[in-house]
Amino acid sequence: MKQLQSLKSDLHQSRIVLEQLGEDIQDGEVLLQVEKFSFTANNVTYGVAGDSIGYWNFFPAINNPENTWGCIPVWGFAEVIMSNNPEIEHGERIFGYFPPANFLIVNPIKVSPASFSDGKEHRKELPPVYNNYVRLNAETGYDQSMDDIRALLFPLHITAFCLCDALEEQSYDGASQILIVSASSKTAIGLAQGLAETEDSPKIVGLTSSNNIHFVESLGCYDQVISYDDLGSINNVTSVMVDMSGNQEVLSAVQNKLKEDLLKCLTVGMTHWDKGGSVDEALAQAELQDRTEFFFAPAHIQKRIGDWGQDGYAEKTNAFMSKRAEQSNDWMQIKKIKGLDNFSETYKEVVAGNINPNEGIIVEVYDA
């Protein structure tokens, strides 16, 4: 087995670790060979929130006696290459949550023709949405040519859908404008596109770096785009801020500008994690702590499945995702990297925030 691991105390540092994979798997278990996965700023957030939310717990790092290294979870595709489970067929393909590695052993439970969950003991207390795997052979209308887009956008735009839904449910807290920090991030784009097509949504304002102004404006989903260098031009009207960045300098500037007009700040991602800290630290540092909260999409997903049922939830999210995927053709360029070893340098660039906003990284894991 080969794993790419990140140093928990400094995500900039990574290593490739090898371990002999045993030939036998236990009764009921399935061996998956990872084909490919996406890597975005969203995955960096998983690393930043690894301890506070538990992302390090999904896929324990091998050869890690001091527990200083971890596997940042990724979304992608795998093939069943060995099955000791009568309900899972050899050769079928799976979409879901994986380590950045070439193999994963799972223990399928709650098996249906459409999906299963990993019942491994260490995952039982983790959010169910991350433990679910889609069985592609049974998926109606499955189009393999859309795999790269799915790996890149599914986790991001599910969060965008949840944000749109939660904001609409709360009538946007009566705000006149929604400020989206790190407006060039893929989750932010999905949110802005969703809000733009929602009737009676407030004005959508994107905040971004000066380098990304032209790109964000070209998307056409923001009513106004403002550079971090020009935050003083934000209108002093009632506002809800959705923060994808974790950049305390920007957040403080916006809070100082709007004061009581800032009704709420939803912290979602950490694209500028190096300018903030952990999720807990970001919330603790917020100047308006009583109006700042961390938005955890899996909790909202479980709520809506309870409200709408699994089929109702799937119908709404699939419609949202289809529109976002179609729109992505206008702006996203996919960059493919072959093998975990070749990914190491790009990993550093993503963690450092040096990837172009219109670029989507797909790692093809060929070596076994």
Cβ count near 294 (within 10 Å): 15
pLDDT higher than threshold 60 for residue 227: yes
40: nearest Cα among 363, 361, 366: 361
126: nearest Cα among 186, 54, 192, 59: 54
What pLDDT, on a 0 to 100 scale, did the predictor assign at position 289? 59
β-pair partners for 7: 10, 69
Inter-residue contact 108 to 62 (CB < 8 Å): no
Can you tell me the distance from the alpha carbon of 286 to that of 248, in angstroms, rounded to the nearest whole number? 8
β-pair partners for 10: 7
Can you tell me the distance from the alpha carbon of 105 to that of 26, in angstroms, rounded to the nearest whole number? 9
268 pLDDT band (50/70/90 cuts)? confident
342 pLDDT band (50/70/90 cuts)? very high
pLDDT tens-digit map of 312-339:
998 999 899 999 999 998 899 999 999 9
CA-atom Rg of the chain in angstroms: 20
- Span 138-153, mean pLDDT? 92
367 pLDDT band (50/70/90 cuts)? low
pLDDT higher than threshold 70 for residue 269: no
Q: How much is the mean pLDDT over the chain? A: 91
pLDDT tens-digit map of 14-24:
999 999 887 67
Greatest C-alpha distance within the chain: 64
pTM: 0.88
Between 273 and 287, name the one with better pLDDT.
287
- Span 221-250, mean pLDDT? 94
The structure tokens listed for 220 are: 């056409």
What pLDDT, on a 0 to 100 scale, did the predictor assign at position 276? 47
Domains belonging to the chain, first-starting first, are 2-142+332-364 (3.90.180.10), 155-298 (3.40.50.720)
Which bin fits 174, alpha (ψ -120 to 50), beta or left (φ > 0)? Answer: left
Between 314 and 215, name the one with better pLDDT.
215
Inter-residue contact 69 to 14 (CB < 8 Å): no
227: nearest Cα among 182, 276, 275: 182
Give the three-class secondary structure for 256.
Answer: helix
What pLDDT, on a 0 to 100 scale, did the predictor assign at position 24? 76
pLDDT higher than threshold 50 for residue 225: yes
The structure tokens listed for 111 are: 């098996």
- Span 3-10, mean pLDDT? 96
Burial of 136 per CB tally in 10 Å (0-12, 13-18, 19+)? middle
E strand residue ranges, the chain: 2-7, 10-18, 30-39, 69-70, 74-83, 93-98, 103-106, 108-109, 115-118, 132-135, 177-181, 203-208, 224-227, 239-243, 262-267, 292-294, 333-338, 359-364
107 pLDDT band (50/70/90 cuts)? very high
Inter-residue contact 304 to 313 (CB < 8 Å): yes
228-243 in b/e burial notation, b at 16+ Cβ within 10 A? beebeebbeebbbbbb
